[in-house]
Amino acid sequence: MITVTPYINAKWETKQQPEHTVINPGNVTDTVGQVTIATEVEVNGAVRAAKNAQAHWASLAGAARGEYLYKAASELSSRAEEIAQIASREMGKTIAETKGEVQRGVAILRYYANEGMRAVGDVIPATDSNALMFTTRAPLGVVGVITPWNFPVAIPLWKLAPALIYGNTVVIKPALETSITCAKIMECFSQADLPEGVLNMVSGGREVGSLLTEHQDVSGITFTGSNTAGKEIGATALARGAKYQLEMGGKNPVIVCDDADLELAVSATISGAFKTTGQKCTATSRVIVHENVYEQFKKELVAQTEEIIVGDSLDESTWMGPFASEQQLRKSLAYIESGVAEGGSLLTGGSQLYEERGFYMQPTIFENLAHSSSLAQEEIFGPVITLFKVDDLSEAIELANDSDYGLSASIFTSNIGGMMSFIDDMNAGLVRINAESAGVELQAPFGGMKNSSSHSREQGEAAKEFFTNIKTVFVKA
């Protein structure tokens, strides 16, 4: 049995009793391991370790820090199968998806390892011709990383790799549900001989996250998860003057025009909506279809959705796994009840599956709901989508923008003018043409508008903006 304890100063704590049992959500008889909840003393110890390690870490050349990231990438790559299996058992994502996610993690580490050798500033002409003026960047210090369960490898890595390469030290608090996968990532850094204290993990739930957010020695907090938690974390960080970055929910629309490649639009809608059992902030949840192709699109979408194989995440033939937890299943089932109560027509799905084995549900499609309904406005975070019929593109874009969120949006069209209108008028951080709403690229900025984020961007070079502070240097000879 795997038991996770806090990882502080490159050592696993041993003194506490395990307090949380991790069960495979797709096979409740499979106990994946146990997690010890970090105490306040341990959270303080982790922050102290990170603080003590930071000056030396920041004094290394970027290339030297990058070497550690390359070594961690090799370690992760060599343990890809084992870590993908653990992640699938812990949160129910299919093994094909977790294998892909581990490879993405390897690529993230390599990308940021390289970043250690890239330019960090600009030379700016000074008004004094005998002076040199330039910008450089300083790390924040200790960064707190709070992550969710839906991308248990990629999200921790796309936060901690840039934090480290720019000279910060880190304390990570992963979601309780996926602490074992995160512990495996810590092992990869341990195998890479990362210096003591540079990367620490405190296991536990939101109480542990709060202790980290409130800690005076944590200079920056980066978070992905719900809007409720994000707003609380942002307010706490702001109150004590810490920098913060929040990536939160989405209610992502797909527009299907009457000149679209319908075959592509159907397969991309299915993939965007139902992969990872709909538990992505970039998942498709509203599908806005031109009336001329509505019936044809609907027929094909429903037919292909009914062919989806729902099953155990470790079975290679499974296309969609269980929810990550019973809480997530209950949330989606409650939305299905609301959809029916609000007058929606259920086109397919709507029922729980294999109740005795775990937390499974059919992929579900609604139509005939008002756009003000809860299904059209609230983040469901499950495999549930609603179709809407429109007369033209401007009505489609207006509906797509009728949301408190603005993370990702897609359009399917062959008309260049339509594409340009969508690019200009869609209020979303990711605007995708003839491609599904999910599908984040690690080398490009990622983040949303409106309530989807704190208006910051992560990943790619954009990560530098959060994990460093700019210093403007003026040198007069």
Ligand X SMILES: O=C(O)CCC(=O)C(=O)O
Ligand Y SMILES: NC(=O)C1=CN([C@@H]2O[C@H](COP(=O)(O)OP(=O)(O)OC[C@H]3O[C@@H](n4cnc5c(N)ncnc54)[C@H](OP(=O)(O)O)[C@@H]3O)[C@@H](O)[C@H]2O)C=CC1
Residues with catalytic function? 247
CA dist list (Å): 436 to 102, 150, 267, 426: 21, 18, 9, 15
Give the chain's length.
Answer: 477
Residue 151 contacts ligand X per CB under 6 A? yes
Residue 224 contacts ligand X per CB under 6 A? yes
Q: Which of 192, 190, 233, 193 is nearest to 215 (CA)?
A: 233
Of the pair 257, 333, the CB lying nearest ligand Y is at 333
Q: By CB under 6 A, what part of segment 346-385 binds ligand Y? A: 379, 381
Residue 268 contacts ligand X per CB under 6 A? no
Q: Assess contact for 408 and 422: CB atoms under 8 A.
A: no
Residue 258 contacts ligand Y per CB under 6 A? no
Q: How many helices (H) and strands (E) does the chain have?
A: 15, 23
Q: Which of 208, 224, 182, 5 is nearest to 86 (CA)?
A: 182
Q: By CB under 6 A, what part of segment 70-129 binds ligand X? A: none
Select from ligand Y, ligand X, none the partner in contact with residue 440, using the beta carbon and a kind-dependent cut-off of 5 to 8 Å.
ligand X
Select from ligand Y, ligand X, none the partner in contact with residue 365, using the beta carbon and a kind-dependent cut-off of 5 to 8 Å.
none
**Helix runs in 312-408, H state only:** 326-341, 374-377, 393-401
* Candidate residues 184, 280, 389, 450; the one interacting with ligand X per rule CB under 6 A: 280
Residue 150 contacts ligand Y per CB under 6 A? yes
| CB burial of residue 39 (10 Å; 0-12, 13-18, 19+) | middle
Select from ligand Y, ligand X, none the partner in contact with residue 109, using the beta carbon and a kind-dependent cut-off of 5 to 8 Å.
none
d(CA 337, CA 315): 30
Distance, CA of 389 to chain centre: 30
Minimum Å gap between C-beta 428 and ligand X is: 13
Residue type at 264 in one-letter notation: L
d(CA 374, CA 397): 19
Select from ligand X, ligand Y, none the partner in contact with residue 178, using the beta carbon and a kind-dependent cut-off of 5 to 8 Å.
none
Minimum Å gap between C-beta 120 and ligand X is: 26
Q: By CB under 6 A, what part of segment 186-225 binds ligand Y? A: 205-206, 209-210, 213, 224-225
* Candidate residues 16, 77, 85, 226; the one interacting with ligand Y per rule CB under 6 A: 226
Note the residues at the interface with ligand Y (CB under 6 A). 146-150, 173, 175-176, 205-206, 209-210, 213, 224-226, 229, 232-233, 247-249, 281, 328, 331, 379, 381
Residues that bind ligand X (CB under 6 A): 150-151, 155, 224, 280-282, 438-440
